[in-house]
Structure 1
Amino acid sequence: MKKAYPRYLPWIIFAEDRDLGELCFTVQNRPGELAKALQIIAKYGVNIVSTIGYSHPTWNQATITLAVDVTDIDDNLLKQMLKELEANTVGKVLFKKNVIKGFLVSELAFPIYLDLHTRVLLFSLEEVGSMLKALYDKYGDVTASILYNLGYGGGVFIAKIMVDKLKTIGKEKLLIELLKILQAAGWALVEVEEMNLTRPSISLKLYENFECKALKYRYKPSSNLVRGYLSGLFSTVLDQSIRFRETRCIAVGDKYCRLVSE
């Protein structure tokens, strides 16, 4: 499994006995502007515990959202910092201090976007696991078919968008890139074992597959949503029916899930 660093997108923070705050502001999209704003915050002794920012290369401005630790920071000093920050950034600076000591929920940033226009939703692995378990408890093994078709539709959707945007890219190269979406979205780390598009014959290793990790209690192969997603993705890019089956699964104790094309 390749090396990857975790990426944190904290929208809930627990930090016992700390005073926390959320800080949102906008800077010009040019080198040094964000650094200047962060230097102002550092000057007042405010510790940054989370930084999220984005600006498309064609935009003039970038929106920055910070979670900050303001424990032991005097209120007057904090007001002074916010005033100076607003004087050196674009537009109004938003700040919200936590209501419950040691606990902060993001409330100044909404909605959440993946890129210019794609809105995304955030769920914890445990939340998704509880949802999946509720489905299996209610509908039994028919849930596998429901999840497969749910995933298939998602794979078709993203593949159509990417095929349209990247028309000049060869199919194998495009598929290799699209498999990285699963890692970027936190679903799984994907390793290609075989990619023969002539037959076609495809074999994929999935490490840390979120679906099977959440369903370990079942002790049976459980990659149905992800399997459907990949089937829809490959079928759309290759313009032929591709269906993956699972031959190894972390839900039964294997080190990884293996999906092979049929």
Structure 2
Amino acid sequence: MRVDVYPKRVFTFVESRPGEDIYEIRVMLRDVPGALAKTANVIAEAGINIKTSIVFASLPNEKQGFWTAFIDVSNSKIGIDELTEKLNALDVVLNAQIVKPKPAAYDIMHFPIQHGEERAVVMPISLLKNLFEEIEKILTPSGFAAVFYNAGKRSGENFAKYYREKFNPKTKEELAELLFLCTGAIGWGRVETYSLDLNRISGKVRLVGNIEGAMRNKGAEPVCHWTRGFLTGYLSIATGREIEVKEIKCIGKGDEYCEFQLEAK
């Protein structure tokens, strides 16, 4: 199935326009149909604009969840205290809190960030680029490539084992597909096309917007050593065989996308 894709903003911060009065609201809701609609209706009736929001379960075994949003109250018909009272009076609301983050509208109501069951961090690409560049100053080009390839390979092996245990895929092809779905969802890069024969150990994977290639300075050689290592480790576990992955096209050397070729070792 092919769908249109658009950039996704992570719920960490919201830009405010001149004249807006931004607050953050967190509502703990009962896990019942219509809970979010009832809550949003109170906010709409108050003339408050919802800038952005997220909804997620608090704990897997609890029948409740959070709805958190940045709201603009500049045209609100009621005050913050009255809005809080109205929300807490709803039968679907367990608790509602509204705060004003200062001096900028950053999320101050949730920590830590989680990706699935594991803690995660949101790092702008500029900071990650600085990290790579400083490490590159210390190591020789071959040493840099080896360190990041080996780190990627180990990460790929561990990730494949984790996915196999968590999702119990029926085939090695399904295990590979899980990785390709994940890469776009977490912002690593979007697998645009792939043609893999995991029985004969051959094929190619095309990765568009690969963050590793995008943040590196342009050069004559492929630079995505961590990504290449990750694919090697992951697909080796998926196939049960030692494989080799080569990067044959790379954003880091001016190509439109990164492309990796899979071969038997």
**Distance across 2 between alignment mates of 1:106 and 1:41:** 19
On the 8 A contact 2:30/2:94 being kept in 1, the answer is: no
> Percent of pairs identical after alignment?
26
TM-score by length of 2: 0.88
> Contact conserved, 2:22 with 2:73, CA < 8 A, in 1?
yes
Kept in 2: contact 1:221–1:252 (CA 8 A):
yes
CA distance 1:168–1:247, shift in 2 (3 Å): closer
Structure 2 unaligned runs (5+)?
none
Distance 1:168 1:139 in 2: 39
Note the alpha carbon deviations across 1:167-197, whole angstroms, 9 max, x for none. Answer: 4511112212322111111111113432112
**Does the CA contact (< 8 Å) of 1:94 and 1:108 recur in 2?**
no
- Is contact 2:125-2:215 (8 Å) kept? yes
Displacement of 1:218 in angstroms is 4.3
Kept in 2: contact 1:204–1:258 (CA 8 A):
yes
Residues 40-49 or 53-62, more deviating: 53-62
Name 1:135's counterpart in structure 2: 135
The residue aligned with 1:207 is: 208
- Distance in 1 (alpha carbons) for counterparts of 2:241 and 2:71: 51
Where in structure 1 are there 5+ consecutive unaligned residues? Answer: none
Aligned partner of 2:115 in structure 1 is 114
Matched with 1:95 is 98
Q: How many residues align?
A: 258
Deviation track 1:80-127 (CA, whole Å, cap 9, x = no partner) reads: 111111222433322221322xx2111111122223x32221112222
TM-score between the two structures when normalised by the length of structure 1: 0.89
Counterpart in 1 of 2:255? 254
Whether contact under 8 Å (1:44, 1:77) holds in the other structure is no
Determine which of 54, 60, 65 is the counterpart of 1:62: 65
Distance 1:28 1:219, change over 3 A: farther
- TM-aligned CA deviation for residue 144 of structure 1: 2.1
Aligned partner of 2:124 in structure 1 is 124
**RMSD, matched Cα:** 2.2
